[in-house]
Every structure is written in structure tokens, then in C-alpha cells.
Amino acid sequence: MKFTKYAKYLGVAALAIGLATGCQSTGTSMAKKAPSAEEVAVQKIITEAKGNLKVAKDGGYAWRDTGKFIKQSEKALAAGDTAKATSLATKALQQTELAKQQSVEQDKAIKARFN
């Protein structure tokens, strides 16, 4: 009887120590590293492209694949591929600017034709 009583206490103590050690080591590995300058630059491009895309959607002149490029860029950035993320984000930003330019040109053409 005494042996099982001590075995229980020993088991509980071992479990408590194991949990404390496991939680402690997990806490340090979960710390996030600071983003690099490249990652910050890519994130800035993505943010700008998202803003321009929202304006383009509100104006009705958004291009089809721009949103896809932004999502792919975010995935590449999360995976650590900053070169691919930069390329896709830049392409998305260029598309938003070209869509805006196209909208202005179309408005001019419509006004010239119907006025």
C-alpha cells in the first residue's frame, strides 16, 4: 500500500516537471523574429497594391488577376521567398496603376464619342 502511494506522488511530480519543462521550451521557440528590410519593403508594396485594388474595385475598373497576384505574393512572403513575393507584388501594383490609367482613357473616349 505504501509503495503505490509513493508511486502516485512520484508520477504526479514527474508529470508536473515534464509539463513545466515542455511549456518552457515551447514558449521560447514561439518567439517571432523581426522582419528583414526586404520583407518590410515587400509588405509595403503589398499594402499599396491592396489599397489601389480596393479603389479600382470601387470604381469598377479592377483587373481580373490582380487579387490573385496579391494573394500569391502574401503566400510567397510567408514562405520566406522574398524574391518571388516582390515580383508578384510589383506585378499587382503595376496592374492597379494600369487599370486606373485605362479607366481614365476610357472615360475620355466615351466623352469624346457621346459629347
Q: What is the pLDDT of residues 47-79, one digit of tens each?
A: 999 999 999 999 899 999 999 999 999 999 999
- The verdict on 57 and 25 lying in the same domain is no
d(CA 8, CA 78) in angstroms, rounded, equals 46
Name the residue type at position 4.
T
pLDDT-derived band at 35, boundaries 50, 70, 90:
confident
Output the CA torsion 75→77→79→81 (10° steps).
120
Full domain range(s) for residue 54? 35-114
- The verdict on 49 and 79 lying in the same domain is yes
Whether pLDDT at 40 is above 60: yes
Whole-prediction pTM value?
Answer: 0.67
The total number of structural domains that make up the chain: 2
DSSP assignments along 38-83, one per residue: HHHHHHHHHHHHHHHHHHHHHHT---SSHHHHHHHHHHHHHHT-HH
- The verdict on 42 and 69 lying in the same domain is yes
Whether pLDDT at 23 is above 60: no
φ/ψ of 35, rounded to 5, equals -70, 145
